[in-house]
Amino acid sequence: MTAVLEVREPHIMKAQEEVQPIIDEVEEVSVNKKKNKKKKKKSTNGTLETDKPSDQVGTEQPNAEESEEEHDSIEGANESSEGAKKKKKKKPKKKTGANPANGQSEPPKIPVSKLFSNGVYPEGELQDYNEDNLWRTTNEEKRYLERMKYDEYNSVRRAAEVHREVRKYIQKVAKPGMSMIELCETIENGTRTLIEENGFEAGVGFPTGCSLNHVAAHYTPNAGDKTVLQYDDVCKIDFGTHVNGRIMDSAFTLTFNPVYDNLLAAVKAATNAGIKEAGIDVRVCDIGAAIQEVMESYEVEIGGKTYQVKAIRNLNGHSIEPYRIHGGKTVPIVKGGDQTKMEEGEYFAIETFGSTGKGVVRTDGECSHYMKNYDVGHIPLRLPKAKQLLNTINKHFGTLPFCRRYLDRVGESKYILALKNLCDAGVVEACPPLVDIKGSFTAQYEHTFLLRPTRKEVLTRGDDY
Ligand SMILES: [Co+2]
């Protein structure tokens, strides 16, 4: 899920409405056989080699090393700091993140706790901090702090592993002709089974986004939506898993037509650039600048027209707190953001959006996503149906985002008016679809990572993205 920036410049909206009728005609997408024609930026500093996006950093890992690493992690959790000192002399840990070939069924039906019967889940991709903080990697005190957190890390790794396995399956079976409802339910059912959904202890993290084309985020079908995935669609699959409220928020873009390959490559590289820049004491504005630089060094040719990929300037990454998808901090994807710093122990989702449109989104269309306002205290409600609906929300979702289909499946019906009442009262926040101009195409990649005391752990990294 994405955080929307307050649009501080009201004229943007107006200008856009004026432009819209002209651009409304949807351009025909033709298959471009000369795909992967990538533009290299009029590079000022020579550091931006876009021919090889740095999106595969450290994901190759022989399986033998992986099991050794798991072993190391278990010991690390249980041994005294004496024992740990001895360990320090071992060679540094290799970066990981690959999806282990672990015998998951198709469709995925085996809970990950059965696949990792020793209860140890694979670490995400490890990235050392940049030079100012490189001392942390080997610092004994920081290493000790991490051993104290082992149970937390291991449980979020379980949620991340579920994300990897569920998306691996959907990447295989999603095809043009599949309904959006079937697509989402496949993901949600897979998540519920693999994570062994259990009240607030484990489950889906938020509604499954499957926003299409100019819709960048916050679309999931409501009941009765007949939309079917098309060959020419650009579909952002944004779904979440959680264990004990620790949400793994990760997204990728699904396409069938190779004409969009450069758009996807731009966004994937931009997200990875943002993750690479991130770290303890790093200012979020510097991350935004790094993301935009990479994103806008790409161009894509669609239907005979060439577009420089734009970063959508009012969409953001965000910190994540327990049961709170949007923690207190946002991570911009363009330059000029604020100077808030990232801190040790924080979880962040870095998500970037590239667009062939204006590079700004506004809300449009029927709402599906909702979320209880985290800070709201007791608000008296007059409508009995609204009170009853709020009880249902409190019981099943608490402060986790939900959608209308999730209300349907827990037995709610005819709740639209009551839901509107809760939104008007400020108890629930509506998160309607976020759209760029019609006829444009938007893509998204997102990962959740943790700023561990010694290094970054990109929890949701897989061998796919
Ligand atoms: Co997000």
Q: What's the pLDDT tens digit per position in 417-432?
A: 999 999 999 999 999 9
pLDDT digits (tens, 9 = 90+) for 277-326: 999 999 999 999 999 999 999 999 999 999 999 999 999 999 999 999 99
Q: How far is the CA of 348 from the centre of ligand 1 (A)?
A: 9
pLDDT at position 336 is 97
Residue 98 has pLDDT above 70, yes or no: no
With a cut of 90, say whether residue 35 has pLDDT above it: no
pLDDT of residue 443: 98
Instruction: Tell me: pLDDT of 141 over 90.
Output: yes
Arithmetic mean of pLDDT, 240-257: 98
> If you measure from the C-alpha of residue 303 to the centroid of ligand 1, how many angstroms do you get, rounded to a whole number?
31
| pTM: predicted TM-score of the whole model, two decimal places | 0.81
**Ligand 1 centroid to residue 93 C-alpha, Å:** 29
Active site residue 188: no
Q: Identify whether 318 is a catalytic site residue.
A: yes
Tell me what pLDDT residue 72 has.
40
Ligand 1 centroid – CA 82 distance (Å): 40
User: Which of 162-166, 281-285, 374-378, 419-423 comes out lowest in average pLDDT?
Assistant: 374-378
More confident position, 219 or 72: 219
Q: What does the pLDDT read at residue 102?
A: 73
Task: Please check the confidence at residue 42 and state whether its pLDDT lies above 90.
Answer: no
- Which residue in 146, 232, 238, 321 is the catalytic one? 238
pLDDT at 367: 98
Catalytic, 351? Answer yes
Would you list which residues are annotated within the binding site? 218, 238, 249, 318, 326, 351, 446
pLDDT at residue 260 greater than cutoff 50: yes
Return mean pLDDT, the chain: 85
Point out the least confidently predicted range of 91-105, 137-151, 225-239: 91-105
Is residue 233 flagged as an active site residue?
no
C-alpha 88 to ligand 1 mean position (Å)? 36
Segment among 99-103, 202-206, 271-275, 304-308 with least mean pLDDT:
99-103
Q: For residues 390 and 60, which has the higher predicted lDDT (pLDDT)?
A: 390
Binding residues for a divalent metal cation: 238, 249, 318, 351, 446
249 is catalytic: yes
Q: Which of 296, 351, 436, 457 is catalytic?
A: 351
What is the average per-residue pLDDT within 252-262? 98
Active site residue 238: yes
Q: Which of 163, 214, 242, 318 is catalytic?
A: 318
Query: Does residue 134 register a pLDDT over 60?
Result: yes
Higher pLDDT: 10 or 205? It is 205
What would the mean pLDDT of 19-37 be, rounded to a whole number?
39
Catalytic residue among 161, 446, 447, 457: 446
Active-site residue, selected from the candidate residues 165, 188, 232, 249:
249
> Which of 326, 369, 396, 447 is flagged as catalytic?
326
SS (H, E, C) the chain: CCEECCCCCHHHHHHHHHHHHHHCCCCCCCCCCCCCCCCCCCCCCCCCCCCCCCCCCCCCCCHHHHHHHHHHHHHHHHCCHHHHHHHCCCCCCCCCCCCCCCCCCCCCCCCHHHHCCCCCCCCCEEECCCHHHHHHHCCHHHHHHHHHCHHHHHHHHHHHHHHHHHHHHHHHHCCCCCEHHHHHHHHHHHHHHHCCCECCCEEEEEEEEEEECCEEECCCCCCCCCCECCCCCEEEEEEEEEECCEEEEEEEEEECCHHHHHHHHHHHHHHHHHHHHCCCCCEHHHHHHHHHHHHCCCEEEECCEEEECEECCCEEEEEEECCECCCCCEEECCCCCCCCECCCCCEEEEEEEEECCCCCCEECCCCCEEEECCCCCCCCCCCHHHHHHHHHHHHHCCCCCEEHHHHHHCCCCCCHHHHHHHHHCCCEEEECCEECCCCCCEEEEEEEEEECCCCEEECCCCCCC
Feature table: binding site for substrate: 218, 326
Tell me, in angstroms, the distance from the centre of ligand 1 to residue 147's CA: 28
State the pLDDT confidence band at 81, using cuts at 50, 70 and 90: very low
Q: Which pLDDT score is estimated for 4? A: 84
CA of 459 to the centre of ligand 1 (A): 14
- The pLDDT score that the predictor gives to residue 101 is 57
Q: What is the pLDDT of residues 181-220, one digit of tens each?
A: 999 999 999 999 999 999 999 999 999 999 999 999 999 9
pLDDT, position 453: 98
For residue 145, how far is its CA from the centre of ligand 1 (angstroms)?
27
pLDDT for 88 equals 41
